[in-house]
Chain A
Amino acid sequence: MSSLSALTRVTLMKDLRLEWRSKDAINSMLFFSLLVVVVFSFSFDPSAEESRLIAGGLIWVAFLFAAVVALNQTWAREIRNQVLDAYRVSPAPANSLFIAKTLGNFIFVTVLEALMTPLFIVFYRLRSLGPVWQLLLVAAFGTWALVVNGTFFAAMSLRTRSREIMLPLLLFPISIPALLAMVQATTAILNGEGARFWIVLLATYDLVFTTVCLLLFETVLNAE
């Protein structure tokens, strides 16, 4: 267990340092979601009341698409110098790599959300009628749901021909219930309604899919 956490920490720190120096993923994600915000804002031009109804959907669609950018880069880095092959032959547990990658992506997407949310609030004149701490809960659970499945499917789509296209094709259908829950919860909270059902559903989704991804990741990593 201690080797698992040590390996996770080393891999995570390496990814964070790489990202800190290159800023590849975060820059492309930020610019991409900025474009989404601007384009949507032009195409709908909503009033404050309307935007409260559509903002949940807009925010999460923007984050989902932006997250795919980061997820696609997760494993691409490891292929370049056969790092992934080296990892496979090493006795290191596969799950420590998976947890590190998932945590890394979680941090990237959370940073993106923290930077983009103020912009959303300004552009769409948003003001929540419900408690804000619930929104934070939805953001944490929702991001984890996207990232844990996304990291898993990114590892899967590495072996396919057009891998950049394959990831959203695999990720989006499976994420539909999570996405629905995030959007509904966000809209409900913004409008001052209860969102308990959706938050519990998201938490259960996270629990089930994290467990299954951890169980299956070694198989997928070593698939030959």
Chain B
Amino acid sequence: MTITTDMDFSVHGAYDDRIVIGVAVNNPAGRHMTRDSQNDVAHNEGQEVPHPFLPGVLKSGEHHILVKGGCTIISDLNAAVTAEQVQGYLDHFESNDEGMRDANGAAPSYNATDHQLTISYDVEFGQPNWRVLPMLWVPKTDVGSINFTGESNSLLCFTRVDGEPSAWTIRYRDIQAGQSADLAKDGNICYMIFSEPVTVGSQTLDAFVAYKITSSSISISATNDTKVVRLHRD
């Protein structure tokens, strides 16, 4: 099992022994990451978590989100994944919030000859409500890759390292430039991460830092288009 990448990643911090943040910031088009094993889909403690009713579909690691630029995700599906299962996944993808459609959507395509699924999208900021991460569920595949396609691309990674990754609920939402938003705490232990600096009153919150939310909510103002990731657990 191997992960190969030329993305310029750096670890920003391990917060409270719970959340580790790593970010590839402003990487050019063409940078990529590939894996050749299902086990490289990390953060489920090395376990495959099957979808409750879609065969051949597994839960993703729920650990990253593209916050700037665009990308193409290519999955070489396992031979055991049937064309019918792929179609079931695509139907599910298009019909509910567990897909990765952003404001203008992302169109997946399936190449039956190569048994390959390709999804491309550009980051947008049109989601005003908390929602699941893009690609929460993915077809079972060993070989996969993500390739940056935007002029400048940033990928935010947030991993749970308290040994109970499944105890966490992860959501994200957008705040457009010049807008303000009240962000509610959820759960007993709650963190938020911002993709751009934002302000709370006179306080500036840095991008790519985990802030522990102890108030019932915080009111933030965004200067730039911003994605907010919220992680919480009991």
A complexed with B: no
Please report A residues at the B interface, Cβ cutoff 8 Å.
none
Please report B residues at the A interface, Cβ cutoff 8 Å.
none
